[in-house]
Structures are given as C-alpha cells and as structure tokens.
C-alpha cells in the first residue's frame, strides 16, 4: 500500500489540516482503516490519534482509493470538533459496548 497526498488545506478556524489522498493498493484488498490511519500518521509525523478518517472510496477494478482525512495538532481539539461516530471509527474513542 502506498499513500500519495493529493492536496492539503489548512483550516485555521477548526485548527486542522484537511488531507486528500490517493491510496494505491494494486493486487491487494482494500486496506483496513487502521492500516491507512497508521501509515498516514507516520507519513505526516503525527500521533495515530491525531488523524481522523472521514471517508474512503474504492475505485472499482483499478486498485486505488480516494480518501479524506482530518489531521489535528492535538487530540483534545479532535475530540471537541469531530463527530463521535467518526472518532469511534478511527479508534480515537472506544464504544461503551466494547468495554
């Protein structure tokens, strides 16, 4: 899996960077959310819990996916701004039912 950053937009009001990417996974299955989040966090030198996956769309038959991430400077800011279901999907907060 290879992640190519297409565009980065600084959103100063919400204190985050919106990152549009192209994920190349030729000959492989669609990568898991966790794998994609960890790889992008490492690429941007951020902690794993500072990156929230907003959407990932697979392009059928060509081994590529488009994805949108919100990257925060702090976890606290992510918790204040992002919707709870996206935080759960990205593994930043745990569901009470899982515990």
Instruction: Note down pLDDT in tens along the chain; length 99 residues.
Output: 899 999 999 999 999 999 999 999 988 888 899 999 999 999 999 999 999 999 999 888 888 999 999 999 999 999 999 999 999 988 888 866 554
Domain boundaries, the chain: 2-89
Residue 96, pLDDT score: 60
Q: Strand order in 51-59's β-sheet?
A: 2-11, 16-24, 64-72, 51-59
Cβ-contact 34, 23 below 8 angstroms: no
C-beta of residue 78 within 8 angstroms of C-beta of residue 72: yes
Class of domain 2-89: alpha beta
Determine the pLDDT at residue 99: 47
């Amino acid at each position: 899996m290879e992640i190519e950053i297409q565009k980065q937009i600084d959103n100063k009001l919400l204190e985050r960077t919106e990152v549009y990417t192209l994920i190349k996974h030729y000959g492989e299955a669609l990568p898991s959310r966790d794998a994609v989040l960890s790889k992008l966090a490492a690429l941007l030198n951020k902690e794993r819990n500072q990156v929230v996956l907003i959407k990932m769309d697979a392009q059928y038959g060509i081994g590529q996916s488009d994805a949108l991430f919100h990257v925060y400077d702090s976890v606290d800011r992510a918790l204040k701004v992002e919707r709870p279901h996206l935080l759960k999907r990205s593994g930043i907060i745990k569901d009470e039912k899982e515990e």
